[in-house]
Structure 1
Amino acid sequence: MLPAAKPIRELHGLASGDLPGLGDSVLAATEPLVLRGLLAHWPAVRAGRQGAASADAYLRRFCRDATVNAMLGPPEIGGRFFYNEDMSGFNFNAVRARLDDVLQELARQRGNPQPPAVYVGSTTLEAALPGYCEENPLDLGARDALASIWIGNQTCIAAHYDLPDNLAVVTAGRRRFTLFPPGQLPNLYIGPLDLTPAGQPISLVDLRQPDLARYPRFMEAMGHAQAAELAPGDAIFIPSMWWHHVEALESFNVLVNYWWRQSPAYMDTPVNALLLSLLAMRDLPPAQRAAWQDIFRHYVFEPGEETAAHIPAPARGVLGPMGEDTARMLRAHLLRKINR
């Protein structure tokens, strides 16, 4: 029998204004947290608690003429955006559409027991719904967070990771989150790195109907899973690199999230290093791969004071402190080498 996911640890009684004072205990945690009722005072949440029609009308107050990326799938996919049968493409269409037209389609399908899947993902709030953030503010202290909105019907997003830390707030409908620690990657059966439904690699396991004959190690992953169901006003903190599967449970669901990184803005995304490593190192002879493991350990994963202490400080180059100028120089150097 598949193990049940453990409940995500919850904090109750917090107000949104408490977050900056709590510091790293919440917003830099290394384990997920559910913050029950954190944004219950938001006007968007009050509208969401009155039902789909009220939540829809609230969003339309801010609609202008924004065009958004939408995912549209036939009823047969059951809301699960995924690959097609031979994994040469996907089981949905990605389109550009006006946000108000998407909201109209969601309203039209609301009473349909088997609706097509409709989903607007990762849309910048400031661009799509100007004025929304001012009416529904969230103070994250010094963090420079990107605020996005996610809108759809009963959709299902496969387990994936994000590099930034993430605070996500349900404002309408309900969502179930199932999370896995980063170390469960081998047991989640991750799909292609270069052909993905929405930019991030995803687990090929259908959490709603896992095929354990095909994916037997998923049993181990579920032994480490944590889950929670969120209602309007609830928030969840998802640490960087935690795998998360998100299922929207009602005919109209809205989620607002805030992304930020704990690293300087000049740092590149690590997945670029992964892809370049696949090109440069994966197929080396075993002895050479082992040598490069030691090199990466020495310079990247376990550097210390002694790593470059023997080199005069002005001559250390990229082994010295990293900053905007060094990062710019290093990026230009890499581009020249890659494009030669």
Structure 2
Amino acid sequence: MAEAGGPIYDRLAPVPERIWEKGAGLDALLEGAREPLVLRGLVADWPLVAAGKKGARDVRRYLLDHARERPFKVSIGPQGHNGRLFYDADMAMNFRVGTGKLADIFGGIDKAEELGDIRTVYLASIDIPSHFDGLDEENPIGLDARDPLKSIWIGTRTRIAAHNDFPDNLACCAAGRRRFTLFPPHQFPNLYLGPIDNTPAGRVVSMVDLDAPDLAAHPRFADAMAEAQTVELEPGDAILIPSMWWHHVEGLENFNILVNYWWRRSAAWLGQPQDALNHAILAIRDLPDADKAMWRAMFDHYVFDNGADVTDHIPEPARGILAPLTRESAGRLRAFLLRTLSR
């Protein structure tokens, strides 16, 4: 087990992996998968990967050939920034966020490379269809039946604190190298999570620095490390990160590109669980303990257990939102919630 301040990556279990063979059936492999899996060479034939292997400037030119004339959101660390996009000592962000044309952003990276400037530049979760023409079509993956969100992550050396996502995630290393360190969903109490409403990128993150874990300050992190998995992806490799798995992500080269695909197992018109958690904090968390116990039982009855005893005694046409939700009934429930929350 790692000591406080020591590196941990060489002490962790590897993520299971397989060499990808064309025609192996990606959709069937992903269906119902609940454990991480590395697919070596899954996107090795992408033109984007080929451009990246030629060099950083080559792959930037390839992206510029497809970029639309619209602003790109970019995060920039100060000179000497170590690539960790995180909080500063006052719990503000240690980077600034702006927008610019992709050509200007890449021009700045070109100049920084010439000067040996180690400033951090990171374009995170850029929606591919709205920011690029033809990029998705030239670099297909065959997940369209899942209707995934398609994003690209572009930047210099970066370290992104452990966080999780509600959708399933297939992340493809297109240029540079990426290291992923994953923790099972149930390990969240041992990750020492930060604020919910003040986050670097919208998701709550672990406050532990994986490059220098302080086990004196975060002793339970040792239990998380005992179940952690890690892997380094080369260009063309991909990793499946199932829903709610915590993942720490690093760009290991001077220039890195990741393409990822997010999809839900549930219908897209259903709500986001994070919204329900936020509302529960607002409405339930600060109640007296006896009241919270009653509401816990109500949640178990209606949400988590959701057995036949909830509805069997109610005529089927009268069950309302206790019946399985449809697009229409979900829309009515959302409208009701919006009205009540706006009072």
- The alignment's TM-score, normalised by the length of structure 2, stands at 0.94
Provide the rounded CA distance (Å) in 1 between the counterparts of 2:185 and 2:219.
Answer: 18
Partner of 2:156: 153
For the pair 1:36 / 2:40, whether they are aligned, the reply is yes
Q: Pick from 69, 75, 78: which aligns with 1:74? A: 78
Counterparts of 1:113 and 1:188 in 2: how far apart (Å)? 35
The match for 2:123 is: 120
Distance 1:148 1:11 in 2: 24
Task: Tell me if 1:11 matches 2:18.
Answer: yes
Give the 3-state SS of the residue equivalent to 1:284 in structure 2. coil
Structure 1 counterpart of 2:195: 192
| Corresponding letter in the other structure for 2:25 | D
Residue 231 of structure 2 corresponds to residue 228 of structure 1: yes
Q: Is 1:219 equivalent to 2:229 in the alignment?
A: no
Query: In structure 2, what is the Cα distance between the partners aligned to 1:13 and 1:276?
Result: 43
Alpha carbons 2:164, 2:244 under 8 Å: kept: yes
CA distance in 2, matches of 1:59, 1:281: 48
The residue number in structure 1 matching 2:173 is 170
The unaligned stretches of length 5 or more in structure 2 are 3-7
User: Which secondary structure state, in structure 2, belongs to the residue aligned with residue 94 of structure 1?
Assistant: strand
Name the residue aligned to 1:59: 63
8 Å contact from structure 2 (residues 49, 236) kept in 1: yes
Q: How far is the alpha carbon of 1:57 from its aligned partner?
A: 2.1
For residue 113 of structure 2, give the secondary structure of its aligned residue in structure 1. coil
Residue 311 of structure 1: which of 311, 314, 322 is its match? 314
Does the Cα contact within 8 Å between 1:17 and 1:139 map onto a contact in 2? Answer: no
Q: 1: CA distance between counterparts of 2:93 and 2:101?
A: 22
Q: Which moved more, 1:294-303 or 1:62-71?
A: 62-71
| Correspondence 1:253 to 2:256 | yes
Q: After the TM superposition, which of the residue ranges 200-209 and 330-339 deviates more from structure 2?
A: 330-339
1:207 aligns with 2:210: yes
Distance in structure 2 (CA, Å) of the matches to 1:191 and 1:267: 27
Contact 1:32 1:237 in 2 (8 A): yes
Aligned to 2:140: 137
Measure, in 1, the Cα distance between the counterparts of 2:224 and 2:79.
29
**Unmatched 5+ residue regions in structure 1?**
none
CA distance in 1, matches of 2:61, 2:269: 40
SS in 2 for 1:274: helix
Q: 1:237 to 1:281 in 2, by over 3 A?
A: same
Instruction: Give the secondary structure class of the aligned counterpart of 1:75.
Output: coil
Separation in 2 of the partners of 1:98 and 1:315?
A: 55
TM-score (norm 1): 0.95
1:282-312: CA deviation from partner (whole Å, max 9, x where unpaired) = 1111122111111111110111222211001
Contact 1:188-1:221 at 8 Å conserved across structures: yes
> Following the alignment from structure 2 to structure 1, what is the Cα–Cα distance between the partners of residues 292 and 34?
31
Kept after mapping to 2: 8 A contact 1:67/1:99: yes
1:53 Cα offset (Å): 2.3
Is 1:92 the equivalent of 2:95?
yes
| Correspondence 1:329 to 2:332 | yes
Letter in 2 for 1:156: R
In the alignment, the residues of structure 2 paired with residue 36 and residue 226 of structure 1 have an alpha-carbon distance, to the nearest angstrom, of 16
Please tell me the root mean square deviation across aligned C-alpha atoms, in Å. 1.5
- Which residues of 2 match residues 239-250 of structure 1 at below 5 A? 239-250=242-253
Q: Name the CA distance, whole Å, in 1 between partners of 2:300 and 2:43.
A: 43
Structure 2 letter corresponding to 1:14: E
- Displacement after TM superposition at 1:185 (Å): 0.7
Aligned counterparts of 2:259 and 2:274: Cα–Cα separation in 1: 25
Alpha-carbon separation, structure 2, partners of 1:236 and 1:66? 30
Once the two structures are superposed, what CA deviation does each residue of 1:232-284 show, in whole Å capped at 9, x if it has no partner?
Answer: 00001111111111000001100111111111111111111101101111111
Distance in 2 (CA, whole Å) between partners of 1:108 and 1:91 is 22
Assess if the C-alpha contact under 8 Å between 2:150 and 2:262 holds in 1. yes
Judge conservation of contact 1:16–1:139 (CA < 8 Å) in 2: no
> What is the deviation of 1:54?
2.1
The one-character-per-residue Cα deviations of 1:60-81 (angstroms, maximum 9, x if unpaired) are 2212313111100013430001
Q: 1:19 to 1:201 in 2, by over 3 A?
A: same
- What is residue 5 of structure 2 aligned with on the other side? none
